[in-house]
Amino acid sequence: MRAGTKEAGTARCLLVVPPVDLPTHPYPAVVQLATWLRRRGHAVEAVDANVRFFRWAIGAERLERGCGAARELLARLDAGDLSPDSETRPLLAEYRRSLGLRERFPGLFESLMDEGSPLPVPFRLDAVEAALNLAFAPTFPERVMTRVSLQYRGRADRFSSASLWEALESRSLLDEFYADLLPALPLDDFDFVGISVPFPQQFEPCLRLCRAIRRSHPRLPLYLGGPAVGIHLQLFPDERIFRLVDGMVVGDGEKPLEAMLAASRRGGVRPEEVPGMVWLDGGEIRRNPLPPPTPLSGVSAPDDVFSREGYLCAPGDPFHRLSLSRGCSWGRCAFCNTGGSGLFPSQKLPAEEAFRRVKELVARGERTFCFADDEADGAVLAELARRSLEEGIRFDWTVQTRFHPVMTLEWASLLRRAGCRKLFVGLETFDDRLLRLMGKPVNRRLVERSLTELAWAGLPVTVYMIVGLPTETEEEARDSFERLLARVRSGEVSGVHYNLFSVPPCAPVGRDPGRYGITSLRPPGGTDLAPMVEEFESSGMSRPAARSLQAEFEERLERELRTPRG
């Protein structure tokens, strides 16, 4: 980040990626926003506090202290002086393993984020998680864990405003990090700070960050934005959150931030003029109408807002994320937030334009892409593949899409020849009754045929499965699992994420549970930020039975294959 002094007549904003998320690449929102605003001549700086946190936390000093705290906890455990629960027991076991690893390989943990580390990235990621948890030991049970992606667990129930507020009273390693980070940032240079919050796990770290900035720079306006703000945090029911932030922006950030920069030039942000702003107006919480969605066609290939050297990212690994589409053209599956939140209206890039962006990044040396779509369009993917083969532009890529009649052997072979290394697809269940109930636009025949065609083309597939769907019986769940297992064994499926069904707030099943056979929803006590609800009543298996099936299925699959990270 460039430090500088504020020029008269210009407005500057700082965009922040908060902890805790994967350290392999920056989540794409800040990169996209900074690129868009800079290309329009605005003065925008960006800092990835997440990756800085990783580097800070697994430095020698923090690790040494963490090891001491972990040893003390283990001594207390051995003396019968600590009563772990189902969450903390595995963490304590992990401390024991990590301490052993550190003794055998001194210096290993400290070097994990170094570019020159000889270890492959997946191994480094596991080791970074272990190292980070040692660093967290002084604030036990604060921790991270892998579940689909890297998850942070602090003190708070992330979907409860009261719990989030209360958690801020407790000690966190993040507070110490912010105390070191903030003096190194030229915060006086900025008219306001925008923090991007894609995932609910970032609420607690993010509120701690806001509090630290408020304490050091009480007059610096602070705004939050990002998907998890739009779906959850904006529902914070009282004025307390506005002691820490000046507003929350719901929806796409390009237009609101541009309006805020323009207003700052004229003397200061006027929240009533910013689309999507949620703010406090004389004790009342006000909500402005959503901003217009940013047309994907107006979003260029990402600039190098952050330098890949800082990340846990081997040369040739994917760093930038490109979206070929936004939202989902189907958008009606009962359990999916995408169609119902109003935040992700469906848009897709013409293949021509998508290919132009890919070429731009390839010309800048990028060779691997994870496309960041909810549901990439099969025809666009085929066209992209065709064009890259015709023009001899080589790159490897992965993408998230849905089962569709377009998935033939020819289609899959074309994608594979053009560098597609894996498809991620929501399969959910093989049961036609449940697929119909959930509004999935597929049936078992289509899924099985697609998997076979993809396998003939040698295109690896990772599928997302769900167990415990409303009205699902144990028999139906086992039948689906056995069908999946057979495909894992035959090599047709190379990766699986088996999720327990929970009711998302903005999804059709969240808005009209009765329609899907749910007779009562039991959100966890005290939650008021549109929680995902795991507990509900319906016919079919009980919730404890669903949970135990999920654990069983995961364990059996683990034996068949080691599920890779998303």
**Which CA distances in Å does 146 have to 20, 22, 129, 461?**
12, 10, 8, 20
Nearer to ligand B12, 197 or 414 (CB): 197
502 belongs to the binding site for ligand B12 (CB under 6 A)? no
Mark 8-37 with x for binding to ligand B12 (rule: CB under 6 A) and - for no binding. Answer: -------------xx----xxx--xx----
Least distance (Å) between residue 276 CB and ligand B12: 8
Residue 361 · residue 534 · CB < 8 Å: no
Among 21, 142, 246, 374, interactor with ligand SF4 by CB under 6 A:
374
| Alpha-carbon gap, residue 308 to 24, rounded angstroms | 9
Binding segment for ligand B12 among 43-51, 103-111, 190-198, 534-542 (CB under 6 A)? 190-198
**Location of structure tokens 């990402």:** 302
Residues 400-429 that bind ligand SF4 (CB under 6 A): 402, 426
Nearer to ligand B12, 200 or 468 (CB): 200
369 by DSSP, 3-state: which?
strand
Nearer to ligand SF4, 387 or 404 (CB): 404
257 belongs to the binding site for ligand B12 (CB under 6 A)? yes
| Alpha-carbon gap, residue 238 to 167, rounded angstroms | 17
Residues 6 or more apart whose CB falls under 8 angstroms from that of 558 comprise: none
Residues 343-382 that bind ligand B12 (CB under 6 A): 344, 372, 374
| Alpha-carbon gap, residue 159 to 533, rounded angstroms | 10
Token pair, residue 383, equals 């066209």
Least distance (Å) between residue 545 CB and ligand SF4: 24
Least distance (Å) between residue 24 CB and ligand B12: 8
**Judging by DSSP bridges, how do beta strands 222-225 and 247-249 pair with one another?**
parallel
How many Å separate Cα 206 from the centre of its chain? 14
Q: What is the DSSP string of 470-514?
A: TT--HHHHHHHHHHHHHHHHTTS--EEEEEEP-B-TTSHHHH-GG
Least distance (Å) between residue 438 CB and ligand SF4: 8
Nearer to ligand SF4, 336 or 418 (CB): 336
Q: Which of 159, 156, 160, 179 is nearest to 169 (CA)?
A: 156
Among 291, 331, 508, 523, interactor with ligand SF4 by CB under 6 A:
331
Amino acid at 556: R
Residue with the shortest CB distance to ligand B12: 225
Mark 147-176 with x for binding to ligand B12 (rule: CB under 6 A) and - for no binding. Answer: -xxxx-------------------------
200 belongs to the binding site for ligand B12 (CB under 6 A)? yes
Residues 6 or more apart whose CB falls under 8 angstroms from that of 183 comprise: 216
Least distance (Å) between residue 528 CB and ligand B12: 15
Binding segment for ligand B12 among 46-54, 87-95, 226-234, 309-317 (CB under 6 A)? 226-234
| Alpha-carbon gap, residue 13 to 26, rounded angstroms | 18
Nearer to ligand SF4, 223 or 424 (CB): 424
Least distance (Å) between residue 106 CB and ligand B12: 31
Q: Which of 371, 329, 324 is nearest to 346 (CA)?
A: 329
Among 256, 318, 339, 495, interactor with ligand SF4 by CB under 6 A:
339
323 contact, one of ligand SF4, ligand B12, none, CB 5-8 Å limit per kind: ligand B12
- Coarse DSSP helix, strand, coil percentages of the chain, rounded to the nearest 5 percent: 45, 15, 40
H or E stretch including 130?
helix 121-136
**Location of structure tokens 């970032």:** 202
Chain contacts with ligand B12 (rule: CB under 6 A): 21-22, 27-29, 32-33, 148-151, 194-196, 198-201, 223, 225-228, 231-232, 249, 252-254, 256-257, 294, 321, 323, 326-327, 337-338, 344, 372, 374, 499, 566
Contact residues for ligand SF4 (CB under 6 A)? 328, 330-333, 336, 338-339, 374-375, 402, 426
